[in-house]
Amino acid sequence: MVTFLNIVIAGLLLGGLYALIAMGLSLQYGVARVLNVSHGEFIMLGGLITWTLYTAFGVNPLLSLAICGPLTFLLGFIIHRTVFKRLLTSSESRGVFESNSMLASFSLLFIIQNIASIAWGPEIRGYSYLRVPVNLAGAVFGANRLMTLGFAVVIGVAFYLFIARTRTGKAIRAAAQDPAAAGLMGVNIDRVLALCFGLGAALAGTAGMLISLCYPVHVAMGLEYTVIALIVVVLGGLGSIPGSFIGGFALGIIGSVVTNIDPSLSLIAYYLIFVLLLLVKPTGIMGR
Amino acid sequence: MLEIRDLCTFYGKVQALWNVSLQINEAEIVALVGSNGAGKTTLLNTISGLLRPASGHVFFLGQQIDGLPPHAVVELGISHVPEGGRVFPEMTVRENLEMGAYPYQAWQHRGETLEQVYQMFPRLKEREKQLARTLSGGERQMLAIGRCLMSRPKLCLFDEPSYGLAPLLVAEIFRIIQGLRDQGITVFLIEQNVRRALEIADRAYVLENGRICMEGPCAELLESDHVRKAYLGL
Ligand SMILES: Nc1ncnc2c1ncn2[C@@H]1O[C@H](COP(=O)(O)OP(=O)(O)O)[C@@H](O)[C@H]1O
Ligand SMILES: [Mg+2]
């Protein structure tokens, strides 16, 4: 007998992951104005790197966070510094940059995916870590999944505090609201945008590591997560970090409810929400 | 303090500034007046690094600053209050002020400077925790000025600070700008409100179609036939 509480807990477990990947995309799209279609590829990289480190070198998956995070950050930062910064200077308006950068991120998707399939091949990879059952509110959940939620919440909250309280966090928000005015305040816009893109990639890489704890990972897994992240970002309001965090959990719970009715319906339900939202309230639940 | 030599700025192929030269001395208020579309905003944006000049130079305290990005220009001590104030709407009044203190040097002293700004604008202190988008037009302009002072500038650039404000507020804004000179801050004031600007400034330049067509002490310009006819409606 599955109770409502179980469905909610399962939703929160899923929602934690959604929140992380959505916060990442929110930084890239909401601040750096790159609708990064290759967001999911960084998730895939995080997952597969964690798998390799664990199966080939015996590195504890939780420790690989300290490797995946910085690695994907660096990759994102460098990509922004080289590709997107150049596009930004060559585009005459923000609208032109947004469409150019989306096209560029499409090619990024194919490049990363192709390199990854040379490295890892098409096989579905999984490993078993901390798969001990834990009894919670009358239902059984894997310790690995609970661990995922814990990490997602800690990282999400830390990230929120970083954006809300620190000098750099304020610069990021200012750059999102008015990049030219932020420059006049002394913010090095190029650097802040690259930082946002890198942090977005690092959040994706971290989420990938957490996903690999619970689900099998493979080279083609990225796009589904990109779509989910995009839905959450719209749900939570473009550019709103708290919105993405809350929206992630909201979508997780919705997904869990729908999965309980029929697992094959969850993606369809997400798309339905997305379309309805765009029609009814395109500024998102936290938007004005 | 600031010297501009033969500055030319383009938007694509369209030239907006033609060989503009001017000079601002320390602790002066210098006004630049001109009608809508004359190129006033373009000139300020070229000084602060938002636009790059096609030719000509800008020197600040002897250092060449044309071509520097905006963040580097602020760090040297030039603070720009853009047209309309451009406060950050989704940040609180206090966060907006803190953003003004973003340059590293200013950040070290931000507590102290914040006290001074709150003393100048008690209204901002009252609204400290409100989001900037909830402020009235006058309050926003005050916030923009306060935010500019947070960087502890040597030179302030104002782009039509009185635009769209009620007469009483306009008088207050001009009083505040005059007060800056007494604190030793140099002011470059851009205005369409020509009479007011010429009343508080020491010297002024007149910009027409991207070219400086007149310059001199304000008292002289107020007497000139051209200024009286074209800008004062006399
Ligand atoms: N972003 C822009 N792109 C193209 N032309 C512009 C742009 N901004 C201003 N201009 C043109 O440059 C000229 C000067 O504009 P501006 O500096 O804004 O004048 P002012 O501030 O004196 O009203 C105007 O003819 C205007 O149409
Ligand atoms: Mg203007």
pLDDT digits (tens, 9 = 90+) for A164-195: 999 999 999 999 899 999 999 999 999 999 99
Render pLDDT for A51-84 as a digit per residue (tens, 0 to 9): 999 999 988 888 988 999 999 999 999 999 999 9
What one-character-per-residue DSSP string does B170-188 give? HHHHHHHHHHHHHTT-EEE
Distance CA B182, CA B175 (A): 11
pLDDT of A139 reads 76
Number of H helices, E strands in chain A: 12, 2
- Mark yes or no for CB contact A186/B75 under 8 Å: yes
Three-state DSSP class for B208?
strand
B36 lines ligand 1 (CB under 6 A): yes
Distance CA B198, CA B232 (A): 11
Taking any CB pair shorter than 8 Å as contact, residues of chain A touching chain B are 92, 167, 170-171, 173-174, 177-178, 180-190
Q: Which residues are registered as beta bridge partners of B203?
A: B30, B217
Domain ranges of chain A: 2-280
Q: Ligand 1 pocket test: which of B41, B51, B80 has the largest number of ligand atoms within 8 Å of its C-beta? A: B41
- Helix, strand, coil share (%) of chain B residues, nearest 5: 40, 25, 30
Distance B197 CA to ligand 2 centre (A): 15
Distance CA A52, CA A125 (A): 9
Distance CA A243, CA A240 (A): 5
Question: How far from the centroid of its chain's Cα atoms is residue A177's Cα?
Answer: 21
Retrieve residue B5's tokens.
Answer: 């030599």
Nearest to A174 among B75, B88, B106 (CB): B88
Lowest-confidence region among A19-23, A43-47, A281-285, B26-30: A281-285
pLDDT of A31 reads 87
User: pLDDT class for B126, splitting at 50, 70, 90?
Assistant: very high
CA distance A255 to chain B (A): 31
Three-state DSSP class for A234?
helix
| B78-117 burial code (b ≥16 CB/10 A, e <16) | bbbbbbbbbbbebbbbbbbbbbbbbbeebeeebeebbeeb
Share of residues in chain A with pLDDT > 90 (%): 56
Distance CA B193, CA B34 (A): 9
Distance B11 CA to ligand 2 centre (A): 14
User: pLDDT class for A264, splitting at 50, 70, 90?
Assistant: confident
Q: What does chain B come to in residues?
A: 234
Lowest-confidence region among B40-44, B99-103, B228-232: B228-232
Retrieve residue A270's tokens.
Answer: 């997400």
Render pLDDT for A191-235 as a digit per residue (tens, 0 to 9): 999 999 999 999 999 999 999 988 999 999 999 999 999 999 988
Share of residues in chain B with pLDDT > 70 (%): 100
Residue pointed to by tokens 């664990």? A54
Q: Which residues are registered as beta bridge partners of B131?
A: B92
Which residues of chain A have a CB within 8 Å of the CB of B51? none
What class, spelled out in words, does domain A2-280 have in CATH? mainly alpha
B160 lines ligand 1 (CB under 6 A): no
8 Å CB contact between B64 and B5: no
Q: Give mean pLDDT, residues B49-61.
A: 94
- CATH of region B1-77+190-234, choose from 3.30.710.10, 1.20.1440.130, 3.40.50.300, 3.40.50.12780: 3.40.50.300
- Mark yes or no for CB contact B107/A167 under 8 Å: yes
CA distance B51 to chain A (A): 11
